[in-house]
Amino acid sequence: MPMRSSEVIVIGGGVNGLACAARLAAKGRKVTLLEAGAAVGGGAGEREFAPGYRAPALAHLTQGLDARVVEGMALERHGLAFHPALATTVLSGAAEPLLVRGGKTSGPDTAAWEALHRKLSGFARVLAPFRQMRPVRLAGENRLFGLARQGLGIRGLGRGDFRELLRMVLINVHDVAEDELTDDRLKGLLAFDATLGAWLGPRSPNSLILYLDRLARGADPLLPKGGMGALATALGRAAEAAGVKVRTGAQVERVLVEGDRAVGVRLAGGEEMRAGLVVSAMNPRTTFQKLAGAAALDAGFFKAVGHIRARGAAAKLHLALRGAPEFRGADPRSRIVITPSSEAVESAFNPVKYGEVPGAPVMEAILPSAHEPGLAPEGHHVLSAIVQYAPHAPKAGLEAARAEMLENTLKVLEAQSPGLRGLIVHAELLMPQDIEARFGMVGGNWHHGELAVEQMLFNRPTFAAAQYATPLPGLWLAGAGSHPGGGIDGAAGWNAAQAILEAKA
């Protein structure tokens, strides 16, 4: 097959791949981005799931894009704008709906929630710079000095606040909720938001650190004007404007290795492309196990890659509705979280550890069609929900688990929106296995590897590949499987591009 040359090949056209490619191209690199799908965006895109009904492909909100990505890619100039930050309506059993916006709410815990949110937001601001830093290696005096320098901002908290931050980082979110709050609705919201998309429950160790990471990206969720598809479109336009050559429908099946160095890729159709650098925004296990292969890697490293935990526990629900559902008076333009308590979140998590479906899943739902016209026929609506928890290895088999999961989810929704079942034109439930197959997320894990303390910073995705460079010269990582992890923000891709530029690779 004919050979094509490029200075840099980026594999994967999700948010991180686009951010990395645009950053490199803006610095004068000749970059080709290869995306297997028909359009860029990955999990941040949009798709028609039933005739005439469109919904966010996977992620339906963002906590906010990395500011460097927004400014560096001039995304506003390419059409990106956001609706005002969404308020959250918490629905909980027979209790009254509770409206929460950042640190503001009502009810018996108004002051307690405000105080807790202020304290946690302060800790999140201190930790936020870590998201934009390349993790240091714990080896050598200079590297240790670098880690200490990164920690100066934390030490600047003062002794008391520093001790409290360390306690919070090591504690679980359930205990924090029990210590600080009395309203079960707020306890449930805190527990749900801390565990959203993660393989852990509120009582799991270190679960609060995921809530701090969430707050580090923004206080309230955001929805792009035009929907998530508009975000993907703006990113694609910005990348092309920076000089990136974007090729869709280009599935990479192999990283070419010659002389112990990555030198290009081979596409599914047999076409080979050469490049000085290959940057993968794909899942690390996919990158090393399938694209590079064992023969190109040290045996110990290859084994470590196989030990990266990537269990997904979230399902994605799409409902095509012939009318507008009514959630007990909730604002249809708010984010609706159905979670009775922290205990309810834990109870939903427990069954999936044994491959079973929870009887009462908890969830986050939005009505994209309440914000944007054209997603459904006139008078009709689309509901998008992230449902927790779903077994990534169901004992009863995938289709039986899907049917049970859908039924249990609809029961929970119907309890909070009587008559909703009668509005359903079509229902689609993506289990973790579907998410893996459709979006290349191993295990169905949205972060391309579990966000756990032992898989963060200089251990993400592994110790030997934590600085975006990999043990295979010429091959770099730029996806959510690298630091700082997932979320629709582009930080990992931007960090990777910066590391490449600093290394003059």
pLDDT at 136 over 80: no
Q: Cα–Cα distance between 173 and 116 in angstroms, integer? A: 12
pLDDT score of 17:
98
Q: How far is CA 60 from CA 190, 365, 380, in A?
A: 19, 9, 19
151 band by pLDDT with thresholds 50, 70 and 90: low
Q: Cα–Cα distance between 287 and 271 in angstroms, integer? A: 19
pLDDT score of 3:
52
pLDDT score of 173:
96
The per-residue DSSP string of 379-413 comes to: T-EEEEEEEE---SS-TT-HHHHHHHHHHHHHHHH
Beta bridge partners of 429: 317
Taking residues 11-30, report their average pLDDT.
97
SS3 147: helix
Average pLDDT across the chain, whole number:
93
pLDDT score of 139:
56
Taking residues 488-504, report their average pLDDT.
96
Q: Which residues are CB-contacts of 300 (< 8 A; sequence separation ≥ 6)? A: none
* Backbone dihedral angles phi then psi of residue 245, each to the nearest 5 degrees: -90, 115
Domain ranges of the chain: 3-83+226-309+448-502, 111-217, 314-439
pTM (2 d.p.): 0.94
Q: Domain spanning 314-439 has what CATH number?
A: 3.30.519
Q: Cα–Cα distance between 363 and 409 in angstroms, integer? A: 8
Q: Cα–Cα distance between 120 and 213 in angstroms, integer? A: 10
Q: Which residues are CB-contacts of 172 (< 8 A; sequence separation ≥ 6)? A: 202, 203, 204, 205, 206, 207, 208
Q: Cα–Cα distance between 204 and 48 in angstroms, integer? A: 37
pLDDT, tens digit (0-9, with 9 covering 90-100), for 23-66: 999 999 999 999 999 999 999 989 999 999 999 999 999 999 99
Q: Which residues are CB-contacts of 456 (< 8 A; sequence separation ≥ 6)? A: 483, 484, 485
Q: Cα–Cα distance between 393 and 401 in angstroms, integer? A: 10
CB 12 within 8 A of CB 281: yes
Q: DSSP alpha helices (H): ranges in 242-382?
A: 284-285, 299-306, 342-349, 368-371
Q: Which fold has domain 3-83+226-309+448-502?
A: FAD/NAD(P)-binding domain (3.50.50)
* 224: nearest Cα among 86, 343, 408, 126: 86
Q: Do 3-83+226-309+448-502 and 314-439 fold alike per CATH?
A: no
pLDDT, tens digit (0-9, with 9 covering 90-100), for 110-123: 999 999 999 999 99
